[in-house]
Structure 1
């Protein structure tokens, strides 16, 4: 199959290059509109109780407060007449905006909870309407109009809307810096890795095709479903990274074949496609399968990375298998043009260092493997105490505006603590509502329950809070549950469960929302579907590796070692970002592991680990099929792929490590974690544990039951 395709590419090389150029131009035209189709947010399960509660609040109660303006007196207090007049003008202007509802001002209500304890700060709260994307755009316009300082006062913004604006700004700046570091460094390393300018341009061509092609795909998908704007960054990093992987594999094999027979370009291309091309097909399928597992989750943030990831993997593989062999056919020996002055001598297809390492490990597999295994288990041990959270202002750097205001609200506004929202799906009798609010006020950690007609605390009723009239509507009732528990804490999440377990008022059902309820629902949505995602990854990886090797032992070995590598990586990330080690160096505040980003990191890093697994296993199997003993096949296979795998991994890791320069902690977590997983897998796993396990398994490594062996012989995609 691959041999026939290789001959086809040789015969139609120039035609394929022309078609590829036309496809690139068409994709570029379509892909230019992708940025306008992508959206912010997507971290919540739209079917969860908290999401349904938020929709009811937006439809019937003016929306959840998501914008807070803190007005600070530079002299005197917030009660000074001049400042009061200016603040009232700001509140009146906000109330007149078509994208704003539920504006409440201290100068309107004189509510003590909206004035700081020292009298220098006071609040204006509002709800900015729209979906996650339009809220950000609307908030930016509002802050431009009402967020500027004036005589005797300053204006600072907080709330989810302002946090999202700050996050987008910080992420944009961080990504520009990361790409500014990664792209030039990657280009330099490409020239060093390929040892010639011409060969180094090949992965850039494939990467460009993959990235632009996926942009066009995202435009189409963004027109019919929700796609996160962060998918763009995965597309760029993985498009270039996989292009490097595939181009390096193809060019290295082509050079090896051409060295063996310098005059036979056709034979070199055909053999390259037959061997490396088969590896790329299985590798792309393995990476795509790991990313496709993200489709089982209900949050479109995660699903977006499945769309973008699977798209960029497939397009990268197709581009590599079409463009690179065609270019190699046209270039022939000229692929080595522009060699670096110190790279005139071809180092040959094998690396003595990796070959000797494999041989040394296999002489004493237990002695070599056990210390590495122990180190990986120690690295994974912080996972025993892992906790998970959702993105909030804590992910921003300490000096960010919305984070500073949020900290001020917690410290100087005792009445503005953490809250839950409870809404009913229909009107409730006053007596039943009061009885329900009284029961809620007695729950541990609840400091007050606000309804439209009263405020309840410790089972007693008091006057209604200022501005509470909008907590009632013809469609139902709403109340605010005030709690002393810190946001996203275990106690706050337990309170959500306690409120949901409490019988509601007679005659209506209730929904519980708010940030802590969203976190509980997000963890449940991800946790409930995580076994399905893991099962999908395990099943597809097992099937692909079985079809690739004809063994049922090899897939199990790869899954165990891949799981061990990922556990160690996530353990190190927990030690850093949750436990706070290196916090001062990286400039973040320790917080729970981001739930969505941790799942994303696992799926991407595991998929890429299978990429390198197949690079190595393909060469080992090729030698084994030629009659070499397992030990010889492993040592020679690692000798011939070790340099390729570590070079490709190092180049790809640069793209992800560049995210470590970000000022947003969840981007740092993603970048450093993915980069570490890639390097760990390409060095420790492939260099030590694979040879050790293969030596211990011996001939068993290639075993399969006879019925499955027959299946393999009938359906497997072989090299020839």
Structure 2
């Protein structure tokens, strides 16, 4: 790290020029990069995807994964929907609102009782307009359909329009760019940085983010030339990139200021400035590099999934920490060398220890067992709701709260049509066997209705729509969907698709190999941490606490979004009843790595203090190492976590419910991790573990720690009776100071 930093400072104008070019190029091309992002979410080689592709090919992009629009009318007393005049009017309306190339079904056209209530006063029609590949699939057709429906009455009753595309808010409007949310996050971060530095240095981390975000967009553009990249990536790069880039820069700048405030190290001469930067990067830069590696490792979990949508999120996620690390290790030293002292005005002696965190650490180490018990109990209580986590699309009834479309859907459910009518299973079968398949599937328990209109026939294939009594996202609804699809696929050549069937395949694709993915991420993270910290116990502890922290974030999401305790108050959005399938996996990948950042910062500092005290002959280094480590990193971790929290809060302001849920999990996880886990539980456990923290068998050291030549590193030299393996010589140099 020292050699690289000296090279960067020796070629600082070249380094600065490269980053200026990358930043300007990325900024200039960001708009076209966003235009290349896709709204598609495919599942290659899955049966539901095969069915939906066949439906799209034969029926002009109607139906499949896209839910239908629902037209509903409830007639006055004494009038029934099976009367000739009502049937004629209803049939004319449904035909009028069905766009060219679309398809629809109604009682007027089929006479099917599935579309008629028991009292024959309420009837429903399903309309599938042609869809476009965007997050608003019916945006071209809906305005005209709405206008026609609003102007129509049947036997004096107002016709109403509802359905999931309307209830979810995906019926109009294009997605906005992330500029507005990024500015909100940047302003919040600037306030925090101003409180931390109380000088012009507050602007430095923001400048690093200003270089990292456009550069990441530039790299994402390259990825779009290789594979489809989800539209969600633009928000992740802008807002998560903002938080990570600022956090890494904050760590280095804080350490640089500490070095410059040491007696005799604050001289104006170039050599003094250079040495302060070299010492800062030798320690803080190493921690930043390790943190970036742990984030990248956890995001590799998304890259290996057989789901292009999540894989593209993983690619972008990998780029965010890698670019942020590169900026912190190259551009930031140049800026500090050239402008650091000028920006650090008003100049004053900076106290590296936080009084508040020193007291917290002293209290925690004085009663480590009690601290671990209480903080662990709080963490487990926060994680407990994860046991009730339900995966799936939001239940339609949870979307149906307030407004005419909500009341219309309530009327449909109350009339006995079944909640699943909003998201039918679509079965593609030979035209000759469609009626038999319809009768067969209608007899399954939990099926509320089915239709197979004769005009839903193309190339000798016909569609049978089947819907469940309970919502497909509920437990019983999912079981019914599984039985319907399994029964349909028993017949050779029959394909079963639609949104509910694709959801089931999505869950299998994302979580089918979850155990192996978690094992892979955990093992690689353990190796990286063990090699850096020269300990077996500390990496294991970090992995366990990270798992608990992630579960606590899941628990918060279940309470807020699934159960509805606070979603209205915090987001003015009703509970969704189920957590979108991709969210928990993406949360694990991002939060696991981001949480490990703080663990690395703290443990790296504790280890440095332990080594310094050991060299001085102190036998019991545990408590003073923990107190120093927490007091020196507590303020830093709190500030970094607050900046990330503000970035995630800005992300949660986007008008996309899935992104709100995702951002809620990240924000809750970061706050829980930075306070309960790293501020209380980590120091308590390190204190309780004592000398065993530094247990590092020599055989493992020879395996993991190699010299630059690639051979085994130096043989351990015992530093006491704790069996600690030796630190890397550079890490033992006291002039490096502490992270």
TM class, shorter-length: 0.7 to 0.9
Note closer, same or farther for the CA distance 1:492–1:318 as it changes in structure 2 (3 Å cut).
Answer: same
Alignment of structure 1 residues 229-628 onto 2, 5 Å: 229-260=231-262, 261-263=265-267, 264-337=272-345, 339=346, 345-391=348-394, 398-399=401-402, 406-412=409-415, 414=417, 417-418=420-421, 419-424=424-429, 427=430, 430=433, 437-451=438-452, 468-502=453-487, 508-586=492-570, 587=572, 588-628=574-614
**Higher-RCO chain (CA-CA 8 Å, sequence separation at least 6):** 1
Note closer, same or farther for the CA distance 1:55–1:170 as it changes in structure 2 (3 Å cut).
Answer: closer
Partner of 2:136: helix, strand, or coil? helix
Give how far 1:274 is off: 1.0
Give how far 1:643 is off: 0.9
Alignment of structure 1 residues 81-100 onto 2, 5 Å: 88=92, 91-92=95-96, 94-96=98-100, 100=101
> How many pairs does the alignment contain?
684
Give how far 1:270 is off: 0.8
Give how far 1:487 is off: 2.7
**Structure 2 counterpart of 1:457:** none
Alignment of structure 1 residues 144-223 onto 2, 5 Å: 144-148=143-147, 151=151, 158-159=162-163, 162=166, 166=170, 169=173, 172=176, 178-179=181-182, 181-196=184-199, 198-223=200-225
Note closer, same or farther for the CA distance 1:636–1:504 as it changes in structure 2 (3 Å cut).
Answer: closer
Give how far 1:566 is off: 1.6
Note closer, same or farther for the CA distance 1:473–1:278 as it changes in structure 2 (3 Å cut).
Answer: same
**Structure 1 counterpart of 2:45:** 47
Partner of 1:298: helix, strand, or coil? coil
Which of 679, 682, 693 does residue 674 from structure 2 map onto?
Answer: 682
**Structure 1 counterpart of 2:13:** 14
Equivalent residues of 1:91, 1:124 under 8 A apart: no
Give how far 1:333 is off: 1.8
Note closer, same or farther for the CA distance 1:495–1:114 as it changes in structure 2 (3 Å cut).
Answer: closer
**Unmatched 5+ stretches in structure 1:** 452-467
Note closer, same or farther for the CA distance 1:576–1:171 as it changes in structure 2 (3 Å cut).
Answer: farther
Note closer, same or farther for the CA distance 1:402–1:178 as it changes in structure 2 (3 Å cut).
Answer: farther
**Structure 1 counterpart of 2:716:** none
Partner of 1:136: helix, strand, or coil? coil
Deviation digits for residues 317-340 of structure 1 (CA, Å, limit 9, x no counterpart): 111111110001102421312x4x
More moved, 254-263 vs 582-591: 582-591
Give how far 1:316 is off: 1.0
Partner of 2:71: helix, strand, or coil? strand
Alignment of structure 1 residues 52-67 onto 2, 5 Å: 52-60=50-58, 63-64=62-63, 66-67=67-68
Distance of 1:166 and 1:95 partners within structure 2 = 18
Note closer, same or farther for the CA distance 1:683–1:493 as it changes in structure 2 (3 Å cut).
Answer: same
More moved, 77-86 vs 439-448: 77-86
Note closer, same or farther for the CA distance 1:636–1:170 as it changes in structure 2 (3 Å cut).
Answer: farther
Give how far 1:67 is off: 4.1
Partner of 1:423: helix, strand, or coil? strand
Equivalent residues of 2:48, 2:496 under 8 A apart: yes
Structure-2-length-normalised TM-score: 0.83
Distance of 2:84 and 2:292 partners within structure 1 = 67
Equivalent residues of 1:422, 1:512 under 8 A apart: yes
Equivalent residues of 1:170, 1:663 under 8 A apart: no
Distance of 1:415 and 1:159 partners within structure 2 = 13
Structure-1-length-normalised TM-score: 0.85
**Structure 1 counterpart of 2:662:** 670
Partner of 2:53: helix, strand, or coil? helix
Note closer, same or farther for the CA distance 1:718–1:444 as it changes in structure 2 (3 Å cut).
Answer: farther
Equivalent residues of 1:605, 1:674 under 8 A apart: yes
Deviation digits for residues 255-285 of structure 1 (CA, Å, limit 9, x no counterpart): 1111111111111011111111111111101
Give how far 1:478 is off: 3.8
Give how far 1:484 is off: 2.1
Q: Does 1:25 align with 2:24?
A: yes
Equivalent residues of 2:114, 2:450 under 8 A apart: no
**Structure 1 counterpart of 2:637:** 645
Distance of 1:537 and 1:136 partners within structure 2 = 35
**Structure 2 counterpart of 1:455:** none
Give how far 1:438 is off: 4.5
Equivalent residues of 2:103, 2:456 under 8 A apart: no
Equivalent residues of 2:395, 2:471 under 8 A apart: no
Equivalent residues of 1:31, 1:213 under 8 A apart: no
Deviation digits for residues 579-623 of structure 1 (CA, Å, limit 9, x no counterpart): 332244234125022221122122211111111111112212222
Distance of 1:335 and 1:158 partners within structure 2 = 58
Give how far 1:87 is off: 8.7
Deviation digits for residues 434-484 of structure 1 (CA, Å, limit 9, x no counterpart): 665544333222344544xxxxxxxxxxxxxxxx11344444454333432
Deviation digits for residues 517-566 of structure 1 (CA, Å, limit 9, x no counterpart): 22222222222022232122202211110121121211101001111212
Distance of 1:167 and 1:597 partners within structure 2 = 22
More moved, 633-642 vs 278-287: 633-642
Give how far 1:25 is off: 1.4
**Structure 1 counterpart of 2:715:** none
| RMSD (Å) for aligned C-alpha atoms | 3.5
Give how far 1:659 is off: 4.4
Distance of 1:94 and 1:326 partners within structure 2 = 63
Equivalent residues of 1:395, 1:666 under 8 A apart: no
Distance of 1:678 and 1:524 partners within structure 2 = 28
**Structure 2 counterpart of 1:136:** 136
Equivalent residues of 1:436, 1:505 under 8 A apart: no
Equivalent residues of 2:395, 2:473 under 8 A apart: no
Q: Does 1:36 align with 2:20?
A: no
Note closer, same or farther for the CA distance 1:495–1:122 as it changes in structure 2 (3 Å cut).
Answer: closer
